[in-house]
């Protein structure tokens, strides 16, 4: 379930292939600094209550029994499928007693009518938290070119949203300049603040802790007050992890993994 079991004693991985996130920032009042290192019980609590992430693959249902009871599960949006596949799996997990957070890829949404359909689904299933990304589709299916555009459309819909998450990139993005990434974070946070909707930022998977810490401190200094969740890879074969990292474009972290396979596999 979580790689952090290698550093936090007593946590047993349960769901191979899942991805966990841990929130390490909880207070707007402390937005200018990085929180103190949490105590061991605090780490255990955060790992125990981590969000899990599943990809809607044909065999994903085989992982359902491995999920801890009443988990919070994010369901990703695969460019190989459509958003409905994400919503369908989210509904299945909800029926099993889990709290679900669907991922919505902006570039896969066809237009206002589909936004209305998504909002209707969210309300019908009483899902109030979503995670919005730009998406990897090379050609957008509609007018929403990035996460900010879709977040704005969702906020203007009748979706009864409580929280909207979006991505953060400690190592940058393969196709988006750093200055635009920073501007996008500020814009999305402002959209949520104006609408009175909560949110969080979830970091792209990164194995360079210094890069993550530097990004967090810089983001806080630039006014990011939303909670930050750390994206952590689940228990997975090292080769598959390297392949996944290549697809995600995690840069220096991927080079570190290639040079230190033995360390990662411990």
Each residue's pLDDT tens digit, 116-148: 999 999 999 999 999 999 987 889 999 999 999
Express as a percent the part of the chain with pLDDT over 90: 55
Range of the domain at 177: 3-265
Q: Residue 104 above 90 pLDDT?
A: yes
Higher pLDDT, 224 or 257: 224
Return d(Cα 245, Cα 206) in angstroms, integer.
9
Return d(Cα 71, Cα 2) in angstroms, integer.
14
The residues pairing with 63 across neighbouring beta strands, listed in sequence order, are none
What's the mean pLDDT when you consider all of the chain? 80
Q: What is the CATH number of the domain that holds 87?
A: 3.20.20.220
Q: Are 122 and 160 in contact (CB under 8 A)?
A: yes
Return d(Cα 155, Cα 102) in angstroms, integer.
16
Q: At 243, is the secondary structure helix, strand, or coil? A: helix
* DSSP secondary structure code for residue 6 in this structure: G
Number of domains forming the structure of the chain: 1
Task: Show the tokens assigned to 8.
Answer: 């936090």
At residue 19, the pLDDT reads: 43
Question: Could you report the per-residue pLDDT of 152-200, keeping only the tens digit for each?
Answer: 999 999 999 999 999 999 988 877 888 889 999 999 999 999 999 999 9
């Amino acid at each position: 379930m979580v790689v952090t079991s290698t550093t936090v004693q007593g946590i047993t991985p349960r769901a191979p292939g899942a991805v966990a996130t841990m929130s390490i920032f909880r207070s707007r009042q402390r937005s200018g600094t990085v929180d103190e290192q949490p105590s061991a019980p605090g780490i255990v609590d955060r790992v125990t209550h981590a969000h899990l992430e599943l990809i809607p693959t044909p065999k994903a249902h085989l992982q359902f029994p491995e999920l801890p009871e009443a988990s919070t599960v994010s369901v990703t949006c695969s460019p190989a499928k459509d958003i409905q596949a994400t919503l369908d799996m989210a509904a299945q997990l909800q029926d099993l007693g889990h709290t679900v957070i669907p991922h919505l890829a902006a570039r896969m949404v066809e237009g206002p009518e589909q936004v209305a359909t998504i909002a209707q689904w969210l309300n019908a299933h009483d899902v109030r938290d979503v995670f919005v990304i730009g998406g990897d589709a090379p050609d957008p299916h509609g007018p929403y070119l990035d996460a900010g555009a879709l977040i704005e459309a969702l906020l203007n819909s009748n979706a009864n949203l409580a929280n909207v998450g979006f991505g953060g990139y400690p190592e940058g993005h393969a196709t988006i300049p750093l200055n635009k990434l920073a501007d996008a974070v500020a814009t999305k946070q402002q959209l949520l603040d104006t609408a009175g909707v909560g949110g969080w930022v979830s970091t792209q998977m990164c194995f360079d802790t210094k890069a993550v810490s530097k990004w967090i401190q810089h983001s806080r200094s630039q006014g990011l007050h939303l909670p930050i969740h750390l994206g952590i890879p689940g228990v997975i074969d090292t080769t598959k992890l390297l392949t996944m990292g290549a697809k995600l474009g995690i840069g220096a972290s991927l080079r570190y993994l290639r040079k230190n396979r033995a360390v990662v596999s411990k």
